[in-house]
Amino acid sequence: MKKVGLTRSIHLKFVLIYVLLILLAMQIIGVYFVRELEQKLVENFKTSITNRVNLLEYTVKEAMLKKRTEDDPTLQEDIYRILDDSSKTSDIAEIRVINSRARIEGTSDPNNQGLVGQISAEKEVKKALALGFGDDDIYLDDKTKDRIWVYTKPIESNNEVIGTIYIAGEIETVYDQMSEINKIFTNGTIIALAITAVLGVLLAQTVTRPISDMRKQALAMAKGNFSRKVKVYGYDEIGQLAITFNNLTKRLQEAQATTEGERRKLSSVLSYMTDGVIATDRKGRVILINDPAADMLDVSRETVVSQPIVSLLGLDEEYTFDDLSNEQDSIILDYSTKDKPYILRANFSIIQKETGFVNGLIAVLHDITEQEKIDLERREFVANVSHELRTPLTTMRSYLEALAEGAWEDREIAPQFLDVTQNETERMIRLVNDLLQLSKMDSKDYRFNKDWVDFILFFHKIIDRFEMTKHVNVTFNRFLPDKAMFVEIDQDKITQVLDNIISNALKYSPEGGTITFTVKEKEGFIEISVSDQGLGIPKDNLEKIFERFYRVDKARTRQMGGTGLGLAIAKEMISAHGGDVWAKSKEGKGTTIVFTLPYDSTQEDEWS
């Protein structure tokens, strides 16, 4: 998770919001205060001057209406004296008295005495003389750039305007006071904001510190660490949240421990299951596959996750995911090739919530290749046994029926029929004996009477027996070591194995052919081989000749009296001795049967 930047920190946001709220409040208060204060100061300024003008009006009116003698001062002198006394204040810049003809009778400004006797051009004066009421307004002085408040008040006598008073007030002092007040207010605001920021930081820490601790705890929990606890700084809402968070951590730790235990159990079950298991989501995409399933389908877990299960199982053309969800019976998946059978059975079960909503699908795969192979072999075995028994039985019935119908009286035919019947009976006896022997070996109750035997001498005796009793012109070549080689075997059983192999070699060897016997010493075993120069066996049939009742040329084998079980019995016996057996052949050049037996050369000194 990314580290929270300073600009994104809730601490900074909290302080900024707190400071901005204080600043906004102070600005609103400041604007209202300054505006009201300004209006009040301007109003007081105007009121104070207006009150003095009222008194001044009465004095000037008396002077203007006074009847004068030669000894009395002139009107201009009286007005100047009156104005000089009234203008001795910093609020008034100049006072003028204008008569009804708009002529200036006097001014309080010593520097503007030249205006006395001139006609006033101010529009406020003309308005007051014409309309009979005063007016006021604020102007900007062109020279000093200060604001001036101009106020005119008519002088009335008997409802007749006899003149007007023109006053220029220095209202700039009011605005200077407001400027000083604004500076004081601004400095106070800055100081207040600084104090507020410090208090905001301290206050924010009381809120953000537990939140920061909870954030660290959440990050630790995300990494699987549930041992940390959030410190409780108080029992307010945030404190209660911290306590609740600690309780949640404890519950999550317990839940995670339970979930982890169940996950390990499930993982262990899935890992050690011999059957393949595949789980999907509600859209049919693979979300879980165990190792046996991956091995059965020859895929890797990483490549099949999120792949549709119908594609994974190769059922795109026949089924949809909905079809699999509704499938009650198992589906046979045949992945057999020409060289190797491979068959799986898939059973499907839906993952369903309590509400009935289908949340996914579970597929269980069973490898039934061996089972199918066993079933096929069982069916073939029954068919072969039935066929092998039916042929001699049919022959015997035919000959017995012929004898019963009178052929027994024919001295030439009857012995032949009896001879055929006897041969077929012996053939059935051999078949039954072979079947019984295989049955004993399959039941695992078969016991061997093993003994240490010099295999070279033992092999020579068996070859000598066949060489003396052979009825075909076949040459025996022996390539056997001159030294003794002791192996632990059951002589009767290995004799039966060699009898079967050598008998087959004699049956299929052509007239004038050669049978070669070889024994080679290998590391930990000896290798025995018997080679003929017969027709050979096709390459595709080499691995099948050790199966029960299998014949390369069935008609010829049956004609020669074989049951098709000799090599199967030989394989079982060699395997029981801890060896192996196989065949090598080229069509038209002959066949070699090879088998091995465990051999320890250190036993020679003991037995020699």
Name the CATH superfamily for 451-607.
Histidine kinase-like ATPase, C-terminal domain (3.30.565.10)
Question: What integer pLDDT is reported at residue 430 of this predicted model?
Answer: 64
Residue spans of the chain under pLDDT 70: 1-11, 86-90, 377-378, 380-389, 391, 427, 430-431, 433-447, 548-564, 602-608
The span from the CA of 593 to the CA of 585, in Å, is 9
Closest listed residue to residue 515, CA positions, set 480, 481, 474: 474
Indicate the pTM of the whole model. Answer: 0.41
pLDDT, one tens digit per residue, over 479-533 is 999 988 999 998 888 888 888 889 888 888 888 889 999 999 988 899 999 999 8
Measured in degrees and rounded to the nearest 5, phi and psi for residue 488 equal -95, 105
Question: What integer pLDDT is reported at residue 315 of this predicted model?
Answer: 85
> Which positions ≥6 away from 384 have C-beta within 8 Å?
548, 549, 564
Q: Percent helix, strand and coil across the chain, each rounded to 5? A: 55, 20, 25
**Letter for the amino acid at 558?**
R
Question: What integer pLDDT is reported at residue 559 of this predicted model?
Answer: 46
Helix, strand, or coil (residue 582): strand
Beta strands at 581-586 and 525-531: parallel, antiparallel or unpaired:
unpaired
273-367 belongs to which CATH class? alpha beta
pLDDT, one tens digit per residue, over 257-300 is 888 888 788 777 777 777 888 888 888 888 888 888 888 888 88
373-442 belongs to which CATH class? mainly alpha
Helix, strand, or coil (residue 119): strand
Question: What integer pLDDT is reported at residue 596 of this predicted model?
Answer: 93
Report H helices in 66-171: 75-86, 123-131
Question: What integer pLDDT is reported at residue 158 of this predicted model?
Answer: 82
Tally of residues, the chain:
608
Question: What integer pLDDT is reported at residue 209 of this predicted model?
Answer: 77
Structure-block tokens of residue 98: 């204008």
The span from the CA of 78 to the CA of 337, in Å, is 139
Structure-block tokens of residue 116: 């006395």
The answer to whether the 273-367 and 451-607 domains have the same CATH topology is no
Domain boundaries, the chain: 11-177, 273-367, 373-442, 451-607
Closest listed residue to residue 343, CA positions, set 373, 379, 315, 305: 373
The span from the CA of 389 to the CA of 391, in Å, is 6
> Would you state the CATH architecture of domain 11-177?
2-Layer Sandwich (3.30)
Element counts in the chain: helices (H) and strands (E): 16, 17
